[in-house]
């Protein structure tokens, strides 16, 4: 039977899997900065939401979003390779956007590797647009593209 996945806030016990998915899906070719300890700090931080999608106990994907005064910043976002292109990323992003809007955020910003055509297509599809690039952003290995989406004010 195919069961639906659930999107929830991460718990401390999720930190290791999230860190490993970050290492494998996002930080490849770079130092592993989002270690279990750092993810754990994000889970415990009041300025950060760590959202996960799980089905039958399996971590499908996650997103980490930090709050500023009036804008939020997606710092890390990935879906497990075998689960891509089935809407998990869209559902996670919608969850984060709704949460940011309820918190009164006016925009969400993020960076992606300039060569990451998949991420750029994904975020464009969800209303983000590119507004700048940051040379050498990823440990001088790769440039970043900066993207932003303005959020509609909550009624
Ligand atoms: C980017 C990523 C999170 C997308 O997650 P996903 O669950 O596959 O995304 P969805 O299935 O919700 O895709 C939604 C839409 O995004 C676009 N999209 C997603 N993957 C795409 C690809 N490989 N090529 C072109 N467009 C793509 C499409 O418009 C897609 O809609 P469609 O499938 O109806 O055509 C995922 O590919 C990933 O984890 N990549 C590695 C890590 C990464 O790059 N993270 C983001 C930068 S930190």
Between CA 62 and CA 50 the distance in angstroms is: 7
Q: Per-domain residue ranges for the chain?
A: 6-150
Is residue 145 a contact partner of residue 133, using CB atoms and an 8 Å limit? yes
pLDDT interval class at 2 (50, 70, 90): low
pLDDT (tens digit per residue) in 41-63 = 999 999 999 999 999 999 999 99
Report yes or no: 11 and 42 within 8 Å, Cβ to Cβ: no
Span 6-150 CATH architecture = 3-Layer(aba) Sandwich (3.40)
CB 63 less than 6 A from any atom of ligand 1: no
Q: How far is the CA of 115 from the centre of ligand 1 (A)?
A: 14
**For ligand 1, atom 44, which residue shows the shortest CA distance?**
119
**Buried residues in 100-112 as b, exposed as e (16+ CB within 10 A):** bbeeebeebbbbb
Query: Mean per-residue pLDDT for 80-99?
Result: 97
């Amino acid at each position: 039977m195919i069961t639906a996945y659930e999107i929830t806030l991460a718990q401390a016990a999720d930190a290791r899997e999230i860190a490993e998915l970050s290492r494998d899906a996002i930080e490849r070719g770079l130092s592993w900065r989002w270690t279990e300890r750092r993810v754990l700090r994000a889970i415990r931080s009041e300025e950060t939401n760590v959202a996960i999608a799980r089905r039958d106990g399996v971590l499908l994907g996650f997103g980490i979003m930090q709050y500023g005064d009036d804008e939020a910043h997606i710092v890390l976002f990935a879906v497990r390779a075998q689960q891509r292109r089935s809407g998990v990323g869209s559902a996670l992003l919608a969850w984060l956007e709704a949460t940011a809007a309820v918190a009164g955020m006016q925009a969400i910003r993020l960076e992606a590797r300039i060569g990451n055509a998949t991420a750029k297509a994904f975020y464009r599809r969800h209303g983000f647009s590119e507004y700048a690039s940051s040379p050498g952003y990823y440990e001088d290995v790769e440039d970043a593209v900066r993207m932003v989406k303005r959020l509609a004010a909550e009624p």
